[in-house]
Amino acid sequence: MSRLHISIATDNIAASIEDYSARLGCKPCSFVENEYALWRTDSLNFSIRQDTDRHSGQLRHLGWEDDQATDFIEEKDVNGIVWERFTAQQQAKEINDYWPEAQYQPQGDIGNE
């Protein structure tokens, strides 16, 4: 299974979590206070990150959560947009390595956060 991954910058995590939770119909499955939030639905892997280097709402990167990915891959397309390809477990490892307090596990979180 593949899910489109979209990552955007924000300057207000709390307000963004409230807004996107309503839009996506679920709460984030991973959250790091004042830093990061991730939602996974049946078709979408969506994250926001506090990012002072970008304007709020600016695209950070795109990609695919793909059960068949063998490695976490990151590359730029012809327009300079970063694309990632990863499994849910590879993404969880990246999140937990960067934010050990997240203790994120992707199993069982689709549609019932």
Q: Which domains does the chain have, with CATH numbers?
A: 2-102 (3.10.180.10)
Q: Dump pLDDT digits (tens) for 31-48.
A: 999 999 999 999 999 999
The reported pLDDT for the residue numbered 113 is 40
Q: Dump pLDDT digits (tens) for 3-18.
A: 999 999 999 999 999 9
Q: How confident is the model at residue 63 (pLDDT cuts 50, 70, 90)?
A: very high
Cβ atoms of residues 6 and 20 within 8 Å: no
Sheet with 36-40, edge to edge strand ranges: 30-32, 36-40, 44-50, 2-10, 59-66, 82-86, 73-76
Share of the chain above pLDDT 90, in %: 84
Looking at per-residue confidence, does 111 or 59 come out higher?
59
Residue 78 pLDDT more than 80?
yes
DSSP annotation string for 15-51: HHHHHHHHHHTS--SEEETTTEEEEE-SSEEEEEEE-
DSSP annotation string for 47-74: EEEE-TTS-TT-EEEEEEEETT-SS-EE
